[in-house]
Each structure stands twice: as structure tokens, then as C-alpha cells.
Amino acid sequence: MMRKSEYALWALLVLAVLAAGSTIVSLARSQSASAANSEIYRQLDLFGEVLERVRSDYVEKPEDPKLIEAAINGMLTALDPHSAYLNPKHFRDMQVQTRGEFGGLGIEVTMENGVVKVVSPIEDTPAAKAGLMSGDFITALDKEQIQGLTLQEAVEKMRGPVNSPITLTIVRKGVEDPFEVKVVRDVIHINPVKYNAEGDDVGYIRVTTFNEQTTANLQKAIDDLKKELGPKLKGYIVDLRNNPGGLLDQAISVSDAFLDQGAIVLTRGRNLEETQRSNARPGDLTDGAKMVVLINGGSASASEIVAGALQDHHRATIVGTRSFGKGSVQTIIPLGSNGALRLTTARYYTPSGRSIQAKGIEPEVVVEEELPDDLKQKADVEGARGEANLRGHLKGEGEDEDGAAHSEEESGSSSYVPPEKEKDTQLKFALDLLRGIKSVDTEAKKKAEAN
């Protein structure tokens, strides 16, 4: 047994060694950080040299802001397909989309033969009140021809401050000469939720995007369908097909609307301590009614969060085809007057811990839509497109070191949905499930026998 004086001496020696080791580790870390900083500054010197060469020697005088913006975007797109720089204009556009309201006319449009075609005026908007009709062609805005503009450019010209007027030149079938219509812009609300009763027993809810209005509009849809169908209500179809996603908090609150408890989504950043878990609060707005969720290759991001949460909790039957497979979270980082940075900061996982990245959500019942002949040929050539097919995508768990996805991890599928409901095979199947005409077990047995 050591005496106290000897013990104290040894303790001092041990502490001295530990302190020396700590100093060495700190010094090594400091040197490593210094070397890393030195290398990044060397690379910045290289960038500066290339920039000056381009500015002085390029065949035409380039615009400096465009050069810098392109360089920033080049850096971000090298990270993954979803990180990007948003210049001030694009940042404002993004804010308009997520708010779900803007100053405009209230028409859904497309481009046809170089002019804007009205798909449909939105009810109770300036366009509808001015008498615009589906099938109208808009050939000029304030007497300036649309020919030569992109659809996005034309849409931007039609948007503007509330109460400001714009004159549209309209060509209408059955009317011999073009005519002008003056429309005064108003606040237009983008309704991300459309709904109706299918027969007298099923509520159909289509969620087209996840903006700031989605959860409130979903609640209204459920309330209205409950009142309309009453005790005959057998369940709900939530259609997330071709929904590209949107706000994470809206995906969480939409999932929460159908769940009483449990996790909704897990998000994990670079460090383990950055893991966050979002949980459902008590209260299912549908009172536990049966649910079918429709997904396809166009269902991505927030749509996959909702489908994955309801699937893991066995709250809904997922029908359709494999979703897109975008399992990453982008954070918008404002840069003052210089726009914003959209940066991938985390991956998300379903309540059971499944990663969706480059995999997607696989339905319990796979139902393919019959493609028209022209789309069949295109599909044969191009194949299904999903996250796993995007150049530079984040590796999904289980991918090869070179980034190649294993066959079971491939994401995406057809995103075709027939415009006529009577030809919509996936919707028909969902209705049959809720009405008890078909069952998941029967379909699984048929599939096993076919294999």
C-alpha cells in the first residue's frame, strides 16, 4: 500500500502527462485546422485568378454579378441536386409559393403555340368576375405581345400589386375578332387542397402542395365531407400523387391531423446531437375512419413524410406506385438583400427509422396506371425517374461507395394520372378497398400466386 506522499507524487506525474497529452492533441487539432484554412485560402486565390482572367480575356465583356451567381450555384449544385442559391427575385417567388397567396388575376394557365391558354379561371377571383373562360387564349398583356415570352415570364407580368389594372387581349373560339378585357389584380389564394364526395360514402381529398394554407384547408375539407356524407361515410382517400412537397412543418401537421400519438418524422443532421423527433398530438380529425393514401413517382419530400408516417403507424393503406425518394431537408437561409441560400441540412426518416433517400415509399398495394400509347413509348426509352437517378444525389443507406444504388433502393415510378376519373385505376382500387369490394390480403395473395 502506497504512502500518501508517494501517492501524491504519482498523481502529479499522471496529471502532468495528461496535460501534456491534451496540449499535444490541441496543438495537432490547431495545426490541422490551420492547414485546412491555408488550403481553402489557396483555392480562393485560384478562384480569384480565374475570375480575373475571365473578366479581362473573355471574348465578350461578362456581367460580374452573373459570374458570381453562377459560381455560387456551381458550388451548391456540386453538393446535391436540391441545394441552390436564390437571387432576390427567386427568393421572392419562393416566398409567394410557400405563402400560398399573391397579387394576381386568378387563372390557371398553360402555354400553347406560343401564347397563354386559360385552363380555368379560379372561382370568385378577378379573372372569373371579368368573364374569362376555359380555352381562352391571351395574346397580349397591356398591348404587348406575349409571343416570345416563356410561360413563367408571362405569369410574372400578370402578377403584380393588389388593385393595379392590366389589360388582356383575348382570342376566343366562336368570336371572330380579338377583344380586350381590363382586370384589376386582387389577393389570390392558392388552394392546395381540393375535395369532393365520391358517391355518397367516400370522402376524396387531393393535396397538391404543402404551403402555409395546407393544414387549415385540409381541416375544412374533412369538416365539410363529414357534414355532407354523415353516417354513410366509409372512409377517406388522400391523394398525394404528383405532389412535389413543400414545407416540412405542414407535412408534420397534416400527418398529425390523422394520428393520435407517436412519432411523425425524424430528422438527422451531420451530428448525432442534431437529431430531432416530431410527435403527434392527441386528436384524429377523422375519428379513426378508414384511409387510403395514393402515391406515385411524382410524390416527393413532404408527401413521402405523410405517406411514411401513416404507413408506419398502420393508419392508412398506401396504394399506387413507388414514390420519388427525396429524403432530405432543405433549410432556407436568408442573405439579407442578396437573396437566400437553400441548403440541404438534414435527412429525414419515417417513425420506424426507415430512410426514404433514393428509395421512396413502397405501397402496400402496387397499382399501375395504364399509359396512353404515346407515353408508353416515352416511358420505354426514358424509364422511371426518381431521386436515385439524379446526378449527385445524396447516397441512400446501403448504396455502393461510388454512389450507385442497389436495385432494391431505386426510387421513382410513373407519374401519370388519367385526367378522366373513370379511367383512373388507382382511384378505383382505393374506392373498392374502402367499400369492402377488395382487400389488401386478397391482392397480396393474387400477387404471390402470379409470381
In a domain, 78, yes or no: no
Domain termination residue (choose one: 157, 173, 189): 189
Are residues 321 and 365 both part of a single domain? yes
User: In the prediction, which pLDDT does 34 show?
Assistant: 67
Indicate whether 265 pLDDT > 90. Answer: yes
Say whether both 232 and 332 belong to one domain.
Answer: yes
Average pLDDT over residues 414-442: 92
Specify the CATH number for the domain of residue 166. 2.30.42.10
Active site annotation includes 312: yes
* Domain-ending residue, one of 166, 189, 212: 189
Q: Assess whether 204 and 185 both reside in one domain.
A: no
Could you say which of 278, 303, 323, 326 is catalytic?
326
Summarize pLDDT for 219-246 with one digit per residue, the tens: 999 999 999 999 999 999 999 999 999 9
- Per-residue pLDDT, 255: 98
pTM for the model stands at: 0.80
167 and 300 share one domain: no
Helix (H) or strand (E) holding 157: helix 151-158
CA 193, 194, 196: angle at the middle one, nearest 5? 140
* Domain annotation covers residue 362: yes
Q: Is position 200 annotated as part of the catalytic site?
A: no
pLDDT at 447: 64
Tell whether 163 and 294 lie within a shared domain: no
Residue 301: active-site member: yes
Strands 263-268 and 276-279: antiparallel
Domain, as residue range, for 141: 105-189
pLDDT for 150-198, tens place per residue?
A: 887 898 899 988 999 999 999 998 899 999 999 999 998 888 999 999 9
By percentage, how much of the chain surpasses pLDDT 70?
85
Long-range contacts of 121-129 (CB under 8 A, 24+ apart): 122/188, 122/191, 125/186, 125/188, 126/183, 126/184, 126/185, 126/186, 127/183
Q: Are residues 223 and 127 in the same domain?
A: no
- Same domain assignment for residues 185 and 200: no
pLDDT tens figures, 288-344:
999 999 999 999 999 999 999 999 999 999 999 999 999 999 999 999 999 999 999
Q: What is the pLDDT of residue 123?
A: 77
Residues 6 or more apart whose CB falls under 8 angstroms from that of 35 comprise: none
Give the residue from 189, 211, 239 where a domain finishes: 189
Tell me how far CA of residue 60 lies from CA of 19, 47, 56, 65, 293, in angstroms.
61, 20, 9, 15, 55
Q: Are residues 184 and 300 in the same domain?
A: no
Closest among 212, 232, 235 to 284, alpha carbons compared: 235
Residue 402 has pLDDT above 60, yes or no: no
67 part of a folded domain: no
Q: Distance between CA 233 and CA 231 in Å, rounded?
A: 5
128 φ/ψ sector (left φ>0, alpha ψ -120 to 50, else beta): alpha
How confident is the model over 59-94, as pLDDT tens digits? Answer: 999 999 999 999 999 999 899 999 999 999 889 888
Catalytic residue among 83, 278, 299, 301: 301
Strands laid side by side in the 290-295 sheet: 193-198, 202-207, 235-239, 290-295, 317-320, 365-366
Cell numbers at residue 333, please? 437561409
Domain count, the chain: 2
- pLDDT of res. 84: 92
**Pick from 15, 187, 19, 173: nearest CA to 101:** 187
Same domain, yes or no, for 171 and 233? Answer: no
Same-domain check for residues 198 and 255: yes
Residue 86 lies in a domain: no
Helical (H) or strand (E) element with 56: helix 4-57
User: Which among 114, 160, 165 is positioned nearest to 137, based on CA atoms?
Assistant: 114
Q: CATH number, domain at 350?
A: 3.90.226.10
Predicted local distance difference test score (pLDDT) of residue 230: 97
Q: Is residue 83 part of a domain?
A: no
Residue 251 has pLDDT above 70, yes or no: yes
Give CA–CA dist 227/221, Å, rounded: 10
The answer on 364 and 324 residing in a single domain is yes
Say if 415 falls within a structural domain.
Answer: yes
User: Does residue 38 form part of some domain?
Assistant: no
Say whether both 332 and 432 belong to one domain. Answer: yes
Tell whether 284 is covered by a domain. Answer: yes
Q: How many residues does the chain have?
A: 451
| Region 200-211 average pLDDT | 96
Query: Choosing from 312, 323, 359, 395, which is the catalytic residue?
Result: 312
C-alpha cell at 299: 410524390
pLDDT bin (cut points 50, 70, 90) of residue 440 is confident
